[in-house]
Every structure is written in structure tokens, then in C-alpha cells.
Amino acid sequence: MRSFWNNTGISKAFKLNLFEACSLLLLFFCGGLFMVSATCKSDDSDKPGGGHSSPTPYTLKQPAHFVKMLLPADNPLTEEGIALGRQLFYDPLLSMNGSVSCATCHLPQNAFSDGLAFSVGVNGQEGPRSSMSLANVGYYYKGLFWDGRSKSLEDQALVPVREPHEMNSDWSLVELKLRTHPKYPDLFQKAFSIRDHKEITRFLVAKAIAQFERTLISANAKYDQVLEGKASYTESEERGRKIFFDASDELPKSECGHCHIDPLFTNLDFFNNGIQQVNSLEGFPDKGRGKVTKIIYDNGKFRVPTLRNIELTAPYMHDGRFNTLEEVLDHYISGGHLADNLNPNVRQLNFSERDKTDLIAFLKTLTDTNFVHNPAFANPFNE
Amino acid sequence: MKKIFFLAASAVLLLAATCRDDEGSSIESIEMNFKSSFGNAPLVMYESAYPYEAGMAVKLQLFQFYLSNISLQREDNSFVLLKDVALISFKDILTPAAAAEGITLNTEGLAAGHYKGIRMGIGVAPNLNSTNPANYTPPHPLDDNYWSAATGYVFIKIEGNADTTGNGQFPAKLTFHTGANDIYKEKTFQKHIELKEGEPLQLNFSMDLKKVLSKGPDNFLDFRQITQDHSNNPAVYTFIADNLFDALVLE
């Protein structure tokens, strides 16, 4: 069989009939269009990860009973990226004087919170709020922080470096330290395929930390094991579970499940839960969500925190005002302080001491010791 | 043979060159707009106090409901699905201007033509109500409002406060959360709908929340007696669901 090209060689091109000539013209035109179309797409070679050596894709093992995690297309998880993020998370190099890392306020043993009412940054400076647990933080798609001011983990990771009460540093300085570091340029090259140490930027730092944080999944508490049929509740825990979810007409209702929706035990939303007595909506000492949205009805609203590992994350509330779960329950039993934006689900409860004991027993089934002791989440500088 | 090859190759390349995600001049769209009121006043969260039955007044913080299987009815009575599920939430309606704008739901991908009506289920259709948030990637209408104890979604949420004594104070906390397969009902609005090529169509729906809570001075949810129901009391939750079904109107 004669090849097409032999049959339609250049020397014969001018001998084509009109139909063939038109078709050939169309072929070249379309071919050109196709090439233009293909090359109009973004040039990956300009982006980290688009260079000569590619990092290893990482498949996140997501719990089947969780909502699916939203993974940004411009920051895919990679083994090298996660490893770099973990290193950066624990490295005090990010702070002004090398004394504070992300992990200073997010300790694994406290489910990545710090056990303080107000987190402490460089030079002992106290921040305005308590540190939030990072358990399952990759699922937070309605904003980060107590007030939701950062839209993504990548945005959030940029903030603490420059906050005076946290790391009190300067990103230009941090970038310089990382670029001239004996190890980090190589780690960034492996994680993001950069060609030059000058390509190490704050944005890549944030991407790496965000990658690591997305792996901080807590889904192996007793609560999860019961769901999987691998464990069973005690009588007290089961009674507490029913109270928590308002699942029995014979038991008092706790109203917990409206906001602390399982399996994340937060609906990620922002509410005034009545902890602060104010005369008007302008009166909140910390305006919380309202400071971000500038909507007066958002004043005094804060993120519904996850209750996973709640046993490990005392003190409670954005200002750490409650030291124990018993104090938290006493607050909710009281119905909270009235305000125009008090969440109506916070209402007086009729609880006995047994009800409180059982509800707390259930809350403790949300403690995930595998999560807090997971070596993949531990400080790499201790290895 | 050569001709066929030329034609095939050209056609393939032409397709490859012109096939883009944003293509689709023949795709028509419908914009469904939902406005809510309380009696004759536009429904605004937090700010407005609305007169209610028996001298009471209410303020709202949340009003939302699910719609399922939103479909256009063809002339031959068959249906074309516009959206499998949508959450219509007035939670962020904080000003009269926002209330006048309403909530908009866009659908597209419809063929131009004549339709005789639009159908929608009030609530979460049973096939979707048997799913849970783990089946979805946020943001999705069904990634929230799931009540695991009832293994289903809360179809309707009404939250706010009541002044039950007429003294201008609103201490009574109202939370009505309604959802169960047996209250899911589909409603067809008979209306000639002409979808013209290249002309987006707007359908305007309205909902009077007062009609959801009250059928009149002799038959209403009395907030002096009841301030909460989480689908525990069939008399209450079916009252709300039936009233909401009736209160949804296509203008």
C-alpha cells in the first residue's frame, strides 16, 4: 500500500483538483487553529510544578463518611509539598526572632490548638483570641480563623508571619532566609519544581503549609469506630449521643446538633452563641465576623468550632473563657445572653446532672488519639 | 478514498479547534427569582419586626427551604429537568433593597420552545433525602442541613424571635425545622412558558412567610404556646409544610 505522503508529495501538490485543494487548505487552516487553541492555554512552564522534575502526586485518604474535601486545582497535594509544608509548619524560622512556629499555637497533643485562652506570639505578646484546632481544617471552605477572614488555607497561611502578636516578621525577610538556607531551596525545588532559589516566595510557603494542613484529618475517634461497627458506646455515651442529637423524645434536647453537625461537628458557620452580655450590637468587645463583613448583625458572631477532640482543646470559646466542658454546658443550659442576633437555637435547657455527665461522656468519644499521635503530623525536627 | 480522508481529517480538526467549554449559542437559560414577604412587607432578616396574630410580633433570622426536581413541563406532558435540588435561603437578605432583588436561581441548557408549566418538589426528594453530605463536594445544596438522627435533610428552617406580649421585646426564640419524606410534595404551576432562542427567561416566584405560620386569626402557630418543633409534632410540621406548599406562588 502506497503511503498517503508518497501519493500526495510536494511535487504533486499543484496537481490536486479543486476539491482536494480546498480540503487541504481547510486541513491546514484547522490544524493551525488547533495549534493556536492548544497554545492559548496557560503555559505551565511558568508555574511551580511545571518545570523539569515533577513532585509525586499524593492521594489523600478521605473518610467515607465525611463530606468531600475541596482540593484547589492550583495546589495539588504532593508528597514533597506535604513534607515541605510539615517542615515549615514546625520551623520557627518564619518568625521575627526564630522563637515561634505555626506549631507553637497548634500543638499536636492539643489537637493542634495550644491550651491557652489567648495565644502567645513572639516576645510573649498575647493575641486577641484562642488558637483553633486544625483537625480537619482542610474541609473548611467557608473561611478560616474564628471570623472567617481568610478564604483559603493558602490565604490563611500568609497571615501569622506578619501579625505583630504572632510571628511579627516580614515576608521579604522570611523569603530571604529561605532562599539562603542550606536545605530549603532543595526542598522547594522538589516540591514545586522551581529552577532557582529566587523563585521561593511566600506564596509557595503558604501552598506547602496548606498541603500539610489538608492532611490533618481526624476521623478515627470512638465515634467513628462505632459508626464502622468496630466499637460500641457505653450506656452513658449512648444516652449522651441521643441528647446531643436531640434523638429521643424521652430525653432533654441539647440543641447541639444544629451547629455542630456531624461528622465534622461544625457546620462551619458563624453565630452569636450568647456568651457575651451587651447592651447593643455595637457593644461586643470583639466584633468577630462583623469586623470582616461590616454587617452589624454579624457582630459578636464567631465560627462554630469543631467538637472533634474537644476534650483536648480547652479552654473553650474564642476567648477561652470556659476552662471545662462543664462550664460550657452550664452556659448553654442558661440559654445565653439575649441580643438581636443571638442564635435562637441557644435556648434554656432542662438538664439534670446525669444529662450533663452523659453528654460530656459522648463528647469525649470524639477524641482521636490516633490523630494526635500520628507520626506523619509530628515535629520533623524531633526525628 | 482520498476525498473521504480529506473530509474526515478536516472535520476532526475543525471539531478539535472549535470545541470549547464556553460554547453553546443554542443553550437557553431560565432565571428563577424568589422573593419573600411577611404579609405585605418585604422579608428582611433581623431588622424588621412584623405584626403577627393575637397582637404578637416576630423578627426573623433565617428562612430557607429546599426545592427538588425543578422541571419544565413540555406540551406533551413530559418533563425536562432543570435542577435536581436547590436551597432557597433568605438568610442573607438584610436590607429592603436585597429583599426587592430576591434570590436568583439560574438554570441553562434548555431547548427553545413552548412549555406548559413548571414543576418543583417542596423539600428534598426521597431519592436525594436518602443521601447525606458525604455524597457531595462543597459547595453543594446538600452539603449542609443534614440531621443524622433522622437520616435526612431539614427541608424547611424558620428561625427568629417573637414578642409574645406586645411590649416590644423579643425574648421568645423560634426554631422550626421541618423535614421528612412524608411531607415532600411536588407542585406544578400551569403557565405558558415560551423559551426563545437567545432570550433568557425570568420566572418570578413569591412566598409570604406569614402564610406559612398562619392560616388566619383562628389557625396559626401560637408562639405563646409553641416556639420550637424539629419534626417531632406532626400537627406542627405538616402545618408548616402544607402552608409553605400553598404559599409558593408563580407570579
- Residues in B closer than 8 angstroms to A8, CB to CB, are 2
Give yes or no for a contact between B250 and B203, defined as CB atoms under 8 angstroms apart: yes
Nearest to B143 by CA among A264, A343, A307: A264
| pLDDT reading at A101 higher than 80 | yes
C-alpha span between A73 and A26 (Å, rounded): 36
Examine the pLDDT at A16 and tell me if it is beyond 50.
no
Range of weakest confidence among A107-121, A194-208, B138-152 = B138-152
Contact state of A68 with B5 under an 8 Å Cβ cutoff: no
Given CA atoms B180, A251, A249, B219 in this order, what sign does their dihedral have? negative
- Is the CB of B148 less than 8 angstroms away from the CB of A245? yes
> Do residue A67 and residue B2 have CB atoms under 8 angstroms apart?
no
State the pLDDT at residue B21. Answer: 35
Please write the tens of the pLDDT for every residue from A211-234. 999 999 999 999 999 999 999 999
Distance CA B245, CA B54 (A): 24
State the pLDDT confidence band at B216, using cuts at 50, 70 and 90: very high
Mean pLDDT of chain B: 90
Query: How many contacts, defined by CB atoms under 8 Å, are there between A and B?
Result: 107
Statement: residue A327 has pLDDT above 50: yes
A343 reaches B (C-beta below 8 A): yes
Q: What mean pLDDT is predicted for residues A14-24?
A: 49
- Per-residue confidence (pLDDT) for residue B29, from 0 to 100: 87
Which pLDDT score is estimated for B108? 81
| A347 contacts chain B (CB < 8 A) | yes
Asked if pLDDT for residue A245 goes beyond 50, the answer is yes
What's residue B16's pLDDT?
Answer: 41
Q: Are B171 and A338 within 8 A, CB to CB?
A: yes
B212 contact partners, CB below 8 Å, separation of at least 6 = B156, B158, B240, B243, B244, B247
**Does the pLDDT of residue A38 top 90, yes or no?**
no
Question: A91: closest CA among A165, A179, A184?
Answer: A184
A267 neighbourhood in chain B, CB within 8 Å: 144
Q: Where do we find the cell 421541618?
A: B178
The span from the CA of A96 to the CA of A15, in Å, is 77
The reported pLDDT for the residue numbered B148 is 87
Q: How far is A8 from chain B (nearest CA, A)?
A: 10
Contacts of B177 in chain A (CB under 8 A): 258
Chain A interface, best mutation among B95, B175, B236, by max A CB count within 10 A: B175
Proportion of chain A above pLDDT 70, given as a percent: 86
- Residues with Cβ < 8 Å from A326, sequence gap 6 or more? A356, A360
For position B199, what pLDDT does the model report? Answer: 85
Give the nearest chain A residue to B177 (CA atoms).
Answer: A258
Q: How far apart are CA A211 and CA A72, in angstroms?
A: 10
Considering only CA atoms, which of A209, A185, A193, A198 is closest in space to residue A87?
A209
Write down the pLDDT at residue B19.
Answer: 38
- B94 → closest Cβ in A33, A36, A295: A295
- pTM, two decimals, is 0.85
User: Cα–Cα distance between A258 and A146 in angstroms, integer?
Assistant: 18
Residue A148 above 50 pLDDT? yes
Question: Which residues in chain A have Cβ-Cβ distances shorter than 8 Å to B237?
Answer: none
Q: Say whether pLDDT at A80 is over 90.
A: yes
Residue B83 has pLDDT above 80, yes or no: yes
Say yes or no for a CB contact (<8 Å) between B177 and A261: no
pLDDT at A154 over 60: yes
pLDDT digits (tens, 9 = 90+) for B2-51: 555 545 554 444 444 443 333 334 468 899 999 999 999 999 999 999 99
The ipTM of this complex is: 0.86
A337 touches chain B (CB under 8 A): no
**What average pLDDT does range B95-104 have in this prediction?**
97
Average pLDDT, chain A: 89
Output the pLDDT for position A55: 96
**Chain A closest-CA separation from residue B31 CA (Å):** 26
pLDDT tens-place string over residues A351-371: 999 999 999 999 999 999 999
pLDDT for A47: 40
